[in-house]
């Protein structure tokens, strides 16, 4: 499955590259503008500049975006327009193979964005700790969760108009996952932030990038892993229901 996408996307590299620029432009605007207006922020008791604060969150966001792009719109086309999966299920491949393959691909795309983002962060001098390398597995977890959630959501969609729900879900997540300001700022709505899968990714990647360790990171990992496993299982079931009646 993954091999198929590699071959298919050889012709569509521009689409892939373009997705990487969105969070990058966000970051540049933060550095040039907002970063000068806003003072330092503390992460795990350590003060960091605002750009250093936002960058890891945008890295998590780019992993989310890459995974979501591929697991929603593209899956929709493969499922409803190209009937790609019908052809694949006529071979020894099972619905679980299809789900794992396509979620894996979407995860890879998210990972590609996250990794390029990490390179840019390093080049801009925003990374100070070797633990920043661990942001890669962390962003993979973010990608996996969103790839699987996107895939599952898409399987419930009846047509393109339903696609707008993806934006309805991801836009507030980008705004309210402690992305642009610390979780303390949410006051008594702080609990709600915990409902966003992106928040757990942001919190984890931020700590790793700053080289700060805390027990709460284990909780974030657990949330992401549990969500991912559940979503993959549901996704495989949905393919089975939809295509093997």
Residues within window 74-113 making contact with another protein, judged by CB under 8 A: 82-84, 86-94
In the complex with another protein, the residue whose CB is nearer, 41 or 84, is 84
- Total number of residues binding another protein (CB under 8 A)? 21
Name the nearest CA neighbour of 227 among 207, 201, 193, 188: 201
Q: Smallest gap, in angstroms, from Cβ of residue 69 to another protein?
A: 15
Owner of token pair 């006051």:
187
Closest separation between CB of residue 245 and another protein, Å? 6
Shortest Å distance, C-beta 6 to another protein:
10
Regarding 4 and contact with another protein (CB under 8 A), the answer is yes
Q: Kindly tell me which of 32 and 82 has the beta carbon lying closer to another protein.
A: 82
Please report, for residues 31, 140, 151, the alpha-carbon distance to residue 114 in angstroms, rounded to integers and kept in the order given: 18, 8, 20
Would you say 22 or 97 has its CB closer to another protein? 97
> Rounded to the nearest whole angstrom, what is the least distance from the CB of residue 85 to another protein in the complex?
8
The three-point CA angle 233-237-243 to 5° equals 145
| Residue numbers 23-82 binding another protein by CB under 8 A | 82
For the CB of residue 60, give the shortest distance to another protein in the complex, in Å: 29
Nearest distance in Å: CB 222, another protein: 34
8 near another protein (CB under 8 A): yes
Only one of the segments 5-13, 135-143, 183-191, 211-219 lies at the binding site for another protein (rule: CB under 8 A); that segment is 5-13
User: What is the contact surface with another protein in residues (CB under 8 A)?
Assistant: 3-4, 7-8, 11-12, 82-84, 86-94, 243-245
């Amino acid at each position: 499955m993954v091999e198929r996408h590699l071959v298919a996307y050889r012709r569509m590299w521009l689409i892939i590259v373009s997705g990487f620029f969105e969070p990058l432009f966000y970051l540049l605007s933060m550095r040039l503008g907002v970063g000068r207006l806003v003072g330092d922020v503390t992460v795990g008791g350590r003060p960091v500049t605002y750009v250093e604060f936002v960058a890891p969150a945008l890295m998590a966001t780019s992993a989310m975006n890459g995974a979501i792009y591929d697991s929603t719109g593209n899956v929709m086309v493969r499922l409803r327009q190209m009937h790609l999966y019908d052809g694949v299920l006529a071979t020894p491949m099972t619905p679980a193979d299809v789900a794992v393959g396509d979620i894996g691909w979407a995860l890879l795309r998210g990972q590609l964005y996250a990794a390029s983002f990490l390179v840019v962060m390093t080049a801009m001098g925003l990374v100070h700790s070797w633990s920043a390398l661990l942001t890669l597995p962390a962003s993979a977890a973010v990608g996996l969760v969103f790839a699987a959630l996107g895939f599952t959501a898409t399987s419930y969609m009846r047509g393109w108009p339903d696609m707008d729900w993806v934006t309805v879900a991801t836009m507030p997540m980008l705004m309210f996952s402690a992305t642009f300001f610390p979780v303390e700022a949410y006051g008594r709505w702080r609990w709600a932030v915990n409902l966003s899968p992106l928040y757990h990714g942001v919190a984890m990647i931020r700590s790793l990038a700053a080289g700060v360790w805390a027990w709460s990171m284990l909780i974030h990992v657990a949330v992401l892993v549990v969500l991912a496993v559940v979503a993959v299982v549901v996704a495989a079931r949905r393919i089975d229901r939809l295509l093997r009646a």
